[in-house]
Structure 1
Amino acid sequence: MSKRSSIYTLMLSGVLILVVGCSSSPDEQDIVIGNRSEQAMYLDAKEKMKLGNFGAATATLSSLDSKYPFGPYSHQIQLDLIYSYYKSGKSTEAIATIDRFTRLNPNHSDVDYALYMRGLTNMETDKNLFQELIGIDRSDRDPSHSREAFEDFRHLIEKFPESKYAADAQKRMLHIKSRLAKYEIAIARFYMRREAFVAAANRGRYVLEYYSDTTHVQEALEIMVECYDQLNLEELKINAMKTLKLNYPNSSFIS
């Protein structure tokens, strides 16, 4: 054997020894590599969130959620994924992730946060970007997501009254009630234009019964007065007028 061949043989033997030595505990190596990979991916997702790139963050976090469902970061990954979905306007995905998190982790310390985010997501879904951009009032649009958001916040406050999110949830419930009252007023006026005065009066009464702490009570009473007048229901008209005079003496309906 030549000197050159001897050197090559020695080098090859050294490489084989190194490979064998490095692979002496494959399970341990896989765990280390897997953990580093999860951590690296998670840090990358957090950096994307910090930069406001929530669309890219959701892709990374979703991949992590699928790849490491029981990893050390799994709960935080899901919570960050909820927020990233919310910020990127993916409400369906956000709600699905929230429901899965609360179902599988009912005693987790951040369940109140998940419920709060459910309410925020439903509120955001109810908004109409086109309406907000050009100032069109569409109070008559379907308020089902607002109703669901109201129930989300109510559930949060009832289950976690001491939560740091409870006070804000309470404020948002008041805002939602105003939105729902405005919807009832819009539908009442729709009925009035079609001379469906019984239906319109009922909408006004509904506002008095369920949204008496909103700014739309005066409108509701005025609608009731007008509808009862059209229906020749004098006693009901007088009662509605008395309430209107007592609470809103400057109303144009009061002669």
Structure 2
Amino acid sequence: MNQVILITKRGVITLLLALSLAACSSTPEKKEQLTEKQYYEDAQAAMANNRFLLAIEKLQSLESRYPFGRYADQAQLELVYCYYRTIDFESSAITAERFIRLHPDHPDLDYAYYMKGLASYSVDRGLVERFIPTDFSERDMGPARESFDDFNRLINRFPSSEYAEDARQRMIYLRNLLAAYELKAAKFYISRGAYIAAVKRATFIVQNYDRTPSLPEALAIMTKTYRELGLPELANTAEQTLAYNFPQYDGLNDAGKLDYSPQKRQKTTLLNVITFGLLD
């Protein structure tokens, strides 16, 4: 009887020891809590070694643990750059916009505008496009317009900024790109016989994108479409403007006239009129 009791006691002790060891092994290990300065210095070290994903992790931890700390503002700016370097352009643009909204008087606000402009245009671009050439004038121009506006805000608010000159050069490129997009649309409408839509696009280029490479072709399209629409006076005005400003334009003959005759017009249907010629 005593032997049975002894065995039972040993069993209970063994069970308690096993449960104790299991509890110890299942206790989650607490992560070391770093100081704000340590998080920031670790992020800087990661960036110096091009380990931008690790830098993002450190900066996010700094921001969440010390949102009002000494390095909080700088951490947000560093995040903008790190997101951009990891091709997460959307997060870069969003973070830059948040910084601009929260810190309207920050001494580095011009940098935030500049990075917002870079990231905005790159939002719909990916890693593949770094190696495969693409005609950007065939893309959605929403990001390009937003980028143009961001750079415009930068040079208007900070004309002497160290980023202003680069922003101006990028705006020239974006302006040419936006004009080329409108020109492609105008040519498409002409191919469909949608002359009203085509002349609207060409006129928009003349009014908004002067001094771009697309301007002479836009004037030529205006000349052609006005002739198609039976508006000779407007056609002549566009042609004269083209000949005066771009006498070397390929489509002009020696007399400074555009060699173009209106196409034979087919019977116009109601559907064709409603859709500006896109549907017959």
- 2:87–2:127: 8 Å Cα contact kept in structure 1? no
- 1:126–1:143: 8 Å Cα contact kept in structure 2? no
The equivalent residue for 1:118 is 116
The percent of aligned pairs where both chains have the same amino acid is 41
The equivalent residue for 1:134 is 132
The equivalent residue for 2:25 is none
Cα deviation, 1:149-187, whole Å, max 9, x if unaligned, reads: 111111112222222212221221111111110110011
Whole-Å Cα distance in 2 between the matches of residues 129 and 178 of structure 1? 24
| Residue 62 (structure 1) aligned with residue 64 (structure 2) | no
Task: Map 1:36-115 to 2 at 5 A.
Answer: 37-115=35-113
Structure 1 counterpart of 2:220, from 202, 222, 236: 222
Whole-Å Cα distance in 1 between the matches of residues 129 and 223 of structure 2? 31
Q: Secondary structure, in 3 states, of the residue corresponding to 1:232?
A: coil
Change (3 A) 1:74 1:172: same
Cα deviation, 1:42-87, whole Å, max 9, x if unaligned, reads: 2221122122222232122112211211222111111111111112
Whole-Å Cα distance in 2 between the matches of residues 132 and 49 of structure 1? 22
Aligned residues: 222
Structure ID, larger Rg: 2
Change (3 A) 1:150 1:239: same
Structure 2 counterpart of 1:235, from 233, 236, 242: 233
If the length of structure 1 is used for normalisation, what is the TM-score? 0.80
Further displaced range: 94-103 or 201-210: 94-103
The equivalent residue for 1:163 is 161
- 1:140–1:183: 8 Å Cα contact kept in structure 2? yes
Whole-Å Cα distance in 2 between the matches of residues 126 and 171 of structure 1? 21
The equivalent residue for 2:188 is 190
Cα deviation, 1:198-253, whole Å, max 9, x if unaligned, reads: 11111111111111021111111121122222222211111111111112222232
If the length of structure 2 is used for normalisation, what is the TM-score? 0.73
Q: Say which structure is richer in helix.
A: 1
- CA-based RMSD: 2.0
Whole-Å Cα distance in 1 between the matches of residues 98 and 137 of structure 2? 32
Structure 1 counterpart of 2:209, from 197, 208, 211: 211
The equivalent residue for 2:147 is 149
Whole-Å Cα distance in 1 between the matches of residues 53 and 233 of structure 2? 60
